[in-house]
Structure formats: structure tokens, C-alpha cells
A and B are shown apart, each in its own frame.
Chain A
Amino acid sequence: EAGVTQSPTHLIKTRGQQATLRCSPISGHTSVYWYQQALGLGLQFLLWYDEGEERNRGNFPPRFSGRQFPNYSSELNVNALELEDSALYLCASTILRVRGEQFFGPGTRLTVL
């Protein structure tokens, strides 16, 4: 069974540009979470999607947005990039109503120059 996949692995952008990150959950998982992890820090919750709907978002500005597609894959968009957006962005999937364990992808390393 394939795990959570994310693309691209690395992304380099300049300040003010927009970035799009993609995530494919484990087959059968309907819920996707996005986290930001700045270098040397913990995981900060960004967004939660379930069954195509945004269910919750963390304390991040509106320029962080996303969506979940009918096949449960998800996209994270970051507009008007700032230097402090440089981080590892992690996606996790879960079958929401069963136990609740989250399974993470390898992450996308976003660097803003």
C-alpha cells in the first residue's frame, strides 16, 4: 500500500511569488492535514480538509489556502510569499472516524529567497 505522497520535494521561490504544494493521501483516507515546520521547530497546524470541505484552520493568514479534490488529494497554496514562509510543509492523512492516527508524507521543502 502506497503511503502519503507529496510534490514537489523541493521548491524555490522569490518573495511575492505564489507556491502550490500537492499531497496524495493513502488510499481510503478521506482526511488531509497540512502542517508547517520551520527549521528546528515543531509542527504548526495549518489546514484540515475532510470529504472535500475545509474543516479547520490554524493561526495563519488568509494567504495560506488550499482545497481538497474529489479523489481526496489536496493542494496547499501560499500567496505573496514572505521570507519566513521558508519551511518544511508536511501533509498527513487519516481515516477520520477510525482511531485517528495521522500518517505523514515526506514533505515539501519550500525556500523563499
Chain B
Amino acid sequence: GQQLNQSPQSMFIQEGEDVSMNCTSSSIFNTWLWYKQDPGEGPVLLIALYKAGELTSNGRLTAQFGITRKDSFLNISASIPSDVGIYFCAGPPTGNQFYFGTGTSLTVIP
């Protein structure tokens, strides 16, 4: 089935550092979504992308829809302790089946 590969799998960074993570697909996507999940809670939608090459920001978060439509990137600037969590990419390849990435676990050291 559809595979969404996220990298890195985990990150340990100092507070104030910038973070970059990416997601690649084996299929073309027409939507890319980025979610954050805190332990024991449901994922929260951070950013949605709908057009190849699109660059969208949400506060300190910036995400880009890759021009090949098979990848997406999420950047977090000036990380803070509350950025800790697991970040998932997601998106429907065709039709309405949704797939989620393997997740990137972020730890911010104060």
C-alpha cells in the first residue's frame, strides 16, 4: 500500500534552534497536511497545502509542497519547549483514502 516516509525519525535539539523535517511519498499527492500530536492526545492540524510549490506559514511553522508533488517539508523556527511532540505528515494520493507518515518525534532541551 501507500507509504509515506518521514525523516528524521527523531530529533533532539536545543531550545531556540530551528528544525527541519520532510516527508516523501511513492505516489503523487494533491494535498499535504501536517499534524502535531502530544502524548495521549489526538493529532492537531498545523498546516494544509494544496498546490505544488506552495509555501505556507503558521506562526513559527513553515511548510512547503514539493514541486514533484511527492514530497513536503516542515520547518520550525526558534524552537520552544512546547514544540515537543510527534509530527505527522498526511495526505490523500487519489480518491479519499488518507495515509499518515511514520512520524518525527521532536524533543526540545531547555
A residues contacting B by CB (< 8 A) are: 4, 31, 33, 35, 42-43, 45, 48, 50, 55-56, 59, 88, 90, 92, 96, 99-107, 109
Contacts and interface: CB of A to CB of B under 8 A. Distances in A.
B99 A45 contact: yes
Contacts of A104: 35, 42-44
Contacts of A35: 100
A15 to B, nearest CB: 23
Nearest to B1: A59
Interface of B: 1, 31, 33, 35, 40-45, 48, 50, 88, 90, 92, 96-103
Contact of A105 (B42, B90, B97, B102): B42
Contact of B33 (A4, A43, A101): A101
Contacts, number: 55
A90 B43 contact: yes
Contacts of B101: 42
Nearest to A55: B96
